[in-house]
């Protein structure tokens, strides 16, 4: 099985974190293609950055999806996920969607632990979009500006564990979701230190992508996830156009 994993932001360091955890998480025989967006910002914390990341991810997926069995959008907030689901012939999932799917099978309520307070509002919107606000126990985050997204795990590990503990003890979480690609792999390291199960965006997304690839669902031919009806277009890259045409 071949999985295409696209990092919607431009940090190749984060892509390496994602790739490493993706390889650790994948089943034997699964190959990982991990790519970085060609344009955008260093780290996605806002709806505007996610909008840019969505387009950059779509471009990258369009140009590289051939030969893959499933696609992973590797940023929390899942930029471009629903859009790609309409046009791809193979399944696609994202870090938030997949980690929530995992978390919901480990307990009734989950908390999200994040590296930046700025993400709070946007993540709440994202959880609402998946209809799971009623299962969100709390959102907690570091509240200082990040020095470096690549080294946040080492520098803030202790503090993140403390936040996770408070989610369980004060907020009633049954499961902890470590949000954000820069935390890729942390769940694996700290899980025995926490009072409740912990899930991680990258490993969840790899697992769910493999699952979707194994189910081999038919591409929707009707309904709101069928390919868009053919129509005039303008100014799109060749691969984006091919994506639309191939699907119609």
> Cα–Cα distance between 45 and 63 in angstroms, integer?
25
> Cα–Cα distance between 95 and 90 in angstroms, integer?
17
Q: HEC states along 90-130?
A: CCEEEHHHHHHHHHCCCCCCEEEEECCHHHHHHHHHHHHHC
Q: List all residues 6 or more positions away from 38 whose beta carbon is below 8 Å from its beta carbon.
A: 10, 56, 59, 60
**Residue 180 CB, nearest distance to a copy of itself (Å)?**
14
Which span (15-23, 151-159, 177-185, 235-243) binds a copy of itself, by CB under 8 A? 235-243
147 is a site residue for a copy of itself (CB under 8 A): no
Return the closest-CA partner of residue 181 out of 119, 106, 138. 119
**Bridge-partner residues for 159, per DSSP?**
none
211 is a site residue for a copy of itself (CB under 8 A): yes
**Residue 184 CB, nearest distance to a copy of itself (Å)?**
14
**Residue 142 CB, nearest distance to a copy of itself (Å)?**
13
**Residue 85 CB, nearest distance to a copy of itself (Å)?**
7
**Residue 138 CB, nearest distance to a copy of itself (Å)?**
11
Q: Which is nearer to a copy of itself, 153 or 227 (CB)?
A: 227
Residues 83-142 that bind a copy of itself (CB under 8 A): 83-87, 91, 93, 97-98, 101-102, 104-109, 118, 120-122, 124-125, 128-135
Query: Using the 8-state DSSP alphabet, how is residue 178 labeled?
Result: E
Residues 42-81 that bind a copy of itself (CB under 8 A): 42-43, 45-52, 54-56, 58, 80
> Cα–Cα distance between 167 and 113 in angstroms, integer?
8
164 is a site residue for a copy of itself (CB under 8 A): no
Residues 190-209 that bind a copy of itself (CB under 8 A): 191-192, 194-199, 203-204, 207-208
Return the closest-CA partner of residue 207 out of 197, 195, 199. 199
# residues near a copy of itself by CB under 8 A: 97
**Residue 153 CB, nearest distance to a copy of itself (Å)?**
18
Q: How many CB atoms lie within 10 A of CB 131?
A: 8
> Cα–Cα distance between 143 and 115 in angstroms, integer?
8
**Residue 3 CB, nearest distance to a copy of itself (Å)?**
14
String of contacts with a copy of itself for each residue 9-28, x by CB under 8 A = -x--------------x-x-
**CA Rg, the chain, in Å?**
18
């Amino acid at each position: 099985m071949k999985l295409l994993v696209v990092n919607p932001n431009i940090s190749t360091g984060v892509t390496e974190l994602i790739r490493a955890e993706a390889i650790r998480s994948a089943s034997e025989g699964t190959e990982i293609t991990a790519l970085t967006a060609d344009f955008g910002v260093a780290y996605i914390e806002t709806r505007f950055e996610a909008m840019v990341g969505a387009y950059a991810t779509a471009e990258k997926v369009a140009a590289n999806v051939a030969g893959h069995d499933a696609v992973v959008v590797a940023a929390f907030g899942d930029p471009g996920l629903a859009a790609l689901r309409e046009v791809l012939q193979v399944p696609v999932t994202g870090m938030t969607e997949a980690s929530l799917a995992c978390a919901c099978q480990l307990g009734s309520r989950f908390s999200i632990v994040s590296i930046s307070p700025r993400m709070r509002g946007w993540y709440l919107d994202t959880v609402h979009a998946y209809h799971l606000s009623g299962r969100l126990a709390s959102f907690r985050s570091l509240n200082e500006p990040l020095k470096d997204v690549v080294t946040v795990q080492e520098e803030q590990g202790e503090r993140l564990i403390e936040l996770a503990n408070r989610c369980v003890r004060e907020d009633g979480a049954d499961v902890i979701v470590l949000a954000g690609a820069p935390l890729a792999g942390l769940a694996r390291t700290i899980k025995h230190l926490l009072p409740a199960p912990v899930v991680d965006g990258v490993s969840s997304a790899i697992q769910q992508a493999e699952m979707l690839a194994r189910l081999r669902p038919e591409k929707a031919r009707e309904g709101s996830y069928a390919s868009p009806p053919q129509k005039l277009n303008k100014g799109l890259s060749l691969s984006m156009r091919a994506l639309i045409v191939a699907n119609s």
